[in-house]
Amino acid sequence: MNIKNKAATFFALLIIFLMAFILYWSTTKPVSVVIQAGHEGRTTGNTGAESKRYREEEWNILVADEVTKQLRAWHIDVKRMPARVSLTRAKIAISIHFDGATTPCASGASIGYPSDDSYDFAQRWKHLYASYFPYAWHKDNFTPNLRNYYGYRWIHAEKFLLLELGEITCDTQTKWLKPRLKKIAHLIAYSIAKELGKDVRKPLL
């Protein structure tokens, strides 16, 4: 190999290396917060719970958008994601859901998380939301879907909570939840901001 070819090979390798590095960096550069609306954009597979009047996906989107808006107003960077997630690193990730039950009103609120790293945050959220949400709670990670959520494999967060905010197939709960969806979103945003050490005001409930 002559010197010219060696130089050409060297630069080609350098460019490939740089491109690989940029790709790696852009997919793994951590954000402060990921907010996912559960089931958003799914037309097949797990499209979420629904009752005669409400669809979980719509409520998830409404809450996720409002949480995002509030966090950005506090100058916290947020990556807002639908059901189809991409490889991401974050300090905090929250997936928004409402539960459905075959026997109406058999469910309520609950929390899922991938490991004990999220345990304390989960208990702080539970303490906060339980002071507001007047219906039943399940114990944490009570279903395989909560324990083994697919999002845990894609979004690598220091703390990851999947929030079931109530039961959408229970009339008593939806009557209470529907006019409060934005307030619940503000409570979630507050809980995230506090977890990040921000000095923000607790929303009036």
Which range touches Zn ion (CB under 5 A), out of 31-39, 66-74, 129-137, 172-180? 31-39
Which range touches Zn ion (CB under 5 A), out of 30-38, 116-124, 166-174, 183-191? 30-38
- Shortest spacing between CB 168 and Zn ion, in angstroms: 9
The total number of residues written for the chain in this structure:
205
Please identify, using beta-carbon distances, which residue of 99 and 195 lies nearer to Zn ion: 99
- Shortest spacing between CB 69 and Zn ion, in angstroms: 21
With beta carbons less than 8 A apart as the criterion, state whether 176 and 135 touch. yes
Which range touches Zn ion (CB under 5 A), out of 24-32, 47-55, 83-91, 116-124? 47-55
Q: Which two tokens stand for residue 174?
A: 């939806």
- Shortest spacing between CB 39 and Zn ion, in angstroms: 6
What's the CA gap between 170 and 53, in Å, rounded?
Answer: 11
What's the CA gap between 44 and 157, in Å, rounded?
Answer: 27
Please identify, using beta-carbon distances, which residue of 76 and 94 lies nearer to Zn ion: 94
Tokens 């709960």, residue?
173
Tokens 């503000």, residue?
186
Q: Which of 35, 38, 79, 108 binds Zn ion (CB under 5 A)?
A: 38
Count of residues that interact with Zn ion, criterion CB under 5 A = 3
- Shortest spacing between CB 6 and Zn ion, in angstroms: 57
- Shortest spacing between CB 174 and Zn ion, in angstroms: 15
Task: Indicate whether 97 belongs to the interface with Zn ion (CB under 5 A).
Answer: yes
* Residue at 20: amino acid letter: A
Please identify, using beta-carbon distances, which residue of 38 and 151 lies nearer to Zn ion: 38
Helix (H, G, I), strand (E, B) or coil at 103: coil
Please identify, using beta-carbon distances, which residue of 32 and 174 lies nearer to Zn ion: 174
CA distances from 163 to 10, 25, 76, 185 (A): 51, 29, 20, 11
Q: Which two tokens stand for residue 91?
A: 């300090």
Contacting residues for 118 by C-beta, under 8 A, at least 6 apart:
159, 160, 161
What's the CA gap between 168 and 132, in Å, rounded?
Answer: 17
Please identify, using beta-carbon distances, which residue of 38 and 157 lies nearer to Zn ion: 38
Site for Zn ion, rule CB under 5 A: 38, 48, 97
